[in-house]
């Protein structure tokens, strides 16, 4: 399992997962670690987005990761792969909006050629293809805040906050 590990960041449990080769071994490890390290706030990140309005679209191979995290009550998934920025409403594994679901951020704005959106996915709240930038998270014991910071000279921004489940 390349690039698969977990660590604590304050009161948060954070996972780096491998969306290139999702299989039983990684899913079993993730389920066991979530059970052994129960937290009220959980964030995970990996490469291929299960939901995306970008050129590559939804990457269903990563849905088992989403399902496992969603079942454990996790909060946030950060992905890349599509070269744009997109924020989704909290969703379940079927892509239906729910307050108890995971919120996904697709942040592929780090330096290679940007791409337009193809077709807006349901529950996409914000999308931007106009420039480069990064996402900043502030994690607290009870929730998180996010801010997309575009490079100098760009006018786009996206910010908000949520409580943990």
* Alpha carbon separation from 119 to 15, 53, 126 (Å, rounded): 29, 5, 13
pLDDT(120) > 90: no
Q: Is residue 62 within 8 Å of 50, Cβ to Cβ?
A: yes
pLDDT digit string (tens) for 57-114?
A: 777 899 999 999 999 999 999 999 989 999 999 999 899 999 999 999 999 998 788 8
What pLDDT is stored for residue 5 in this prediction?
A: 96
Q: Which residues are bridge partners to 42 per DSSP? A: 13
pTM of the entire predicted model? 0.94
What pLDDT is stored for residue 58 in this prediction?
A: 75
What's the mean pLDDT when you consider all of the chain? 92
Domains of the chain: 5-133 (3.60.21.10)
């Amino acid at each position: 399992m390349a690039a698969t590990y977990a660590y604590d960041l304050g009161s948060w449990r954070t996972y780096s997962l491998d969306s290139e080769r999702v299989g039983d071994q990684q899913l079993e490890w993730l389920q066991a670690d979530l059970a052994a390290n129960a937290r009220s706030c959980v964030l995970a990140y990996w490469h291929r987005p299960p939901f995306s309005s970008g050129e590559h679209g939804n990457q269903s191979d990563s849905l088992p990761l989403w399902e496992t995290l969603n079942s454990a009550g996790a909060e946030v998934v950060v992905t890349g792969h599509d070269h744009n920025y997109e924020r989704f409403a909290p969703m379940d594994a079927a892509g239906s909006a729910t307050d108890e679901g995971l919120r996904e951020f697709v942040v592929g704005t780090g330096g290679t050629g940007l791409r337009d959106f193809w077709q807006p996915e349901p529950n996409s709240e914000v999308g931007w293809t106009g420039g480069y930038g990064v996402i900043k998270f502030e994690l607290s014991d009870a929730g998180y805040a996010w801010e997309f910071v575009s490079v100098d000279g760009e006018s786009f921004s996206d910010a908000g906050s949520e409580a943990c489940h």
